[in-house]
Amino acid sequence: MMILMLSEQKDITTPESRVAILIDANSVRDLKTIIKAYESAQNFGRLIYAGLYVEEKDLTLIGAISSELTKRGIDVKVTIGPNEISMSLDAMEIAYEKKAECIIICTRRDSLTPVFKEIKKLGTKTVVFSPISVPLGFNEIVDESYTI
């Protein structure tokens, strides 16, 4: 598996492909990186869903930027407890119901490895965007990985 910078992005989908991006606020906390992930996801096809998953305890950190995210069409989902549970459930729903041909998860958490495996089994393209570096476990599982 090759790790690429977003500037080296390959075209793995068609412009007509439906794409969903799920962003882990525990991994990506600043507006600039969230917007970069959102805009980069658009290169994979037509965005049908964009969500930022925020744990209730971190809501004050995101509160100041939530209106900007909402203006861009990014749904801010507040979770009680670990946000990767909600991310996993939403990603699996999108994959099982064939709502998208490509699911992008922006995270540094390798706890989402089983989700990527299951999504891939269902024939949905899997992409990970990760700030700083991509967790090693993802390289064997996802179709593409990018450092943002």
Q: Tell me: the pLDDT tens digits for 44-99?
A: 999 999 999 999 888 777 778 888 999 999 999 999 889 999 999 999 999 999 99
Domain coverage including residue 101: 3-147
Number of Cα atoms under 13 Å in the Cβ half of residue 41: 33
- Amino acid 15: pLDDT: 66
- Amino acid 37: pLDDT: 96
49-63, 112-126, 130-144 — most confident range: 112-126
CATH number at 84 reads 3.40.50.1010
Helix axes 113-121, 83-96, angle to 10 degrees: 0
Determine the Cα–Cα distance for residues 113 and 118; give it in Å rounded to an integer: 9
Report the predicted TM-score, pTM, of the whole model to 2 decimal places. 0.87
- CA-derived radius of gyration, the chain: 14
Percent above pLDDT 70 for the chain: 90
Determine the Cα–Cα distance for residues 93 and 26; give it in Å rounded to an integer: 22
- Domain tally, the chain: 1
